[in-house]
Amino acid sequence: MGAVVTYYFEERRFTKQKRLEVSLQPLEERRAALKETHLAMVNCFWALARNFGGTIEEKFASIVVAPLEEFEITTARNQLWLSTAEPKILAALGKFRLTAIALRFRMQEPNMPEQSRPPPGFLDMKWEDFENSYKEAVKAIGQALGVEVMEKSLEEVIGPIRQT
């Protein structure tokens, strides 16, 4: 009789454990998707930040466009799992796109006539807007992951959030 009771309770424990493992599987997929999206966003941010002052045509596609496309593709691929962080991530992606377009317009073609060039101030980009969209997305991903993002350590790396 003792063996039957032990078997019964052991079987129940195993069943509960299996249910828990199955229920936690989507959580792990979500965490992996958020981490992958965060990595792509960080790579894109730094590629744009390094070239904020401008770059040359030959390097633009590899240095600026490639990380931006990777961020776009990663976001689209993981969109199902982004949930609460999605609005901030998409806002950052929008700012990153505008920044890339503005960088492209800043590049002056050597043989371009003056009247064909964009006027001064066309597509001006503010560093603060670009940087704040990144910070907000990082915080949203941290909250979605359940990680307490230390605002002070983030501010030490790239400065305090400026209100616009």
Query: Could you report the per-residue pLDDT of 19-37, keeping only the tens digit for each?
Result: 544 444 567 888 899 999 9
Q: How far is CA 24 from CA 62, 81, 101, 102, 146, in A?
A: 39, 14, 41, 43, 15
Residue 143's contacts (CB-CB under 8 Å, 6 or more residues apart) are 84, 85, 149
98 belongs to a structural domain: yes
Confidence of residue 99 (pLDDT cuts 50, 70, 90): confident
Residue 150, domain extent: 29-158
95 belongs to a structural domain: yes
132 belongs to a structural domain: yes
Pairwise pLDDT comparison (75 vs 54), residue with the higher score: 75
What would the two tokens of residue 23 be?
């229920």
How far is CA 101 from its chain centroid?
18
13 belongs to a structural domain: no
Q: How far is CA 139 from CA 35, 69, 130, 143, in A?
A: 13, 22, 15, 6
14 belongs to a structural domain: no
Mean pLDDT of all residues in 8-21: 58
| Cα–Cα distance, 93 to 8 (Å, whole number) | 54
21 belongs to a structural domain: no
Q: What pLDDT, on the 0 to 100 scale, is given for residue 20?
A: 47
Q: b/e per residue, 103-126, with b = 16+ CB within 10 A?
A: bbebeeeeeeeeeeeeeeeeeebe
62 belongs to a structural domain: yes
Q: How many domains does the chain have?
A: 1
Judged against a pLDDT cut of 90, whether residue 117 lies above it is answered with no
Contact 41, 134 (CB under 8 A): yes
Q: Whole-prediction pTM value?
A: 0.69
15 belongs to a structural domain: no
Q: What pLDDT, on the 0 to 100 scale, is given for residue 109?
A: 63
Q: What pLDDT, on the 0 to 100 scale, is given for residue 118?
A: 67
Neighbour-count burial of 92, counting CB atoms closer than 10 A to its CB (0-12 exposed, 13-18 middle, 19+ buried)? buried
Give residue-wise pLDDT tens across range 123-141: 677 888 889 999 999 999 9
